[in-house]
Amino acid sequence: MAARQLSSLFLRAVARPVSARMDKTGSAIASALPFGKAWRESNMAWLGADEVKRAAFSKTLFGTPLMGVGVYVVGDTMVDSGFSFFESEVVAYAQKLGVKRVLLTHFHEDHSGNVKALQNAGCEVVAPRLTAKMMEEHLPIHPYRHITWSTPHFCTPDTIVDEGDEVKIGNYTAVAHSCPGHSHDQVWQR
């Protein structure tokens, strides 16, 4: 019952602006919805590495947090870059923590959306080979994903990671391993 009431409220609130501003990319739809922003910082221990900083970012709709994503900073490396809806916050967070490098785990826009802004701010971008190829080819993003995660701003990575390559993250050495599933270009560092 509550879900039906919420969806009814949602449809009444946005039906006219959405239908009036529909476009093929979804960006006009996103701008018509009453989205807000929420984010928080926290510290956590991770695999014996130095202290890990985490910032969790999520859009809000009518003040209620929706899907979110986190970025992690270990030493001077940020793992993933979040979605572009939070570009200024992610760049400021990276600068505050002295981030010099961004390591992408995969192509999805909620993980790679701010990579170009971070590169423009002076960060080295490290990405798996397939992720780099997908960004360079500017693969199309489904319209609903523009609404959900915003439009990503891709770049050409500075460093390409292949299977078995090692990447230093703080005091931790990560080894790149392909682990398709969530995304066919997903790379996991162990």
Q: What is the mean pLDDT of residues 148-157?
A: 78
Token code pair at residue 86: 């939070």
Res. 18: pLDDT tops 70: no
Which pLDDT belongs to residue 10? 33
Q: Which of 8-17, 90-99, 103-112, 130-139 has the lowest mean pLDDT?
A: 8-17
pLDDT at residue 37, rounded to an integer? 56
CA dihedral 93, 117, 147, 138 (to 10 degrees): -140
For 106, 126, 158, 159, 160, the CA distances from 103, given in Å and listed in that order, are 9, 5, 10, 9, 10
Residue pLDDT, tens place only, 64-102 = 777 777 888 988 999 999 888 888 889 999 999 999 999
For the chain, give the mean pLDDT: 72
User: Domain 36-189, what architecture?
Assistant: 4-Layer Sandwich (3.60)
Domain residue spans in the chain? 1-33, 36-189
Residue with the larger pLDDT of the pair 48 and 122 = 122
* The predicted structure's pLDDT at residue 184: 53
DSSP code of 25? S
Q: Are 125 and 91 a contacting pair, CB within 8 Å?
A: no
141 Ramachandran zone, left/alpha/beta (phi>0; psi -120 to 50) = beta
Between the CA of residue 33 and those of 19, 64, 142, what are the distances in Å? 11, 13, 18
Q: Could you report the per-residue pLDDT of 23-67, keeping only the tens digit for each?
A: 333 334 344 444 555 555 655 555 454 578 888 877 777 777 777
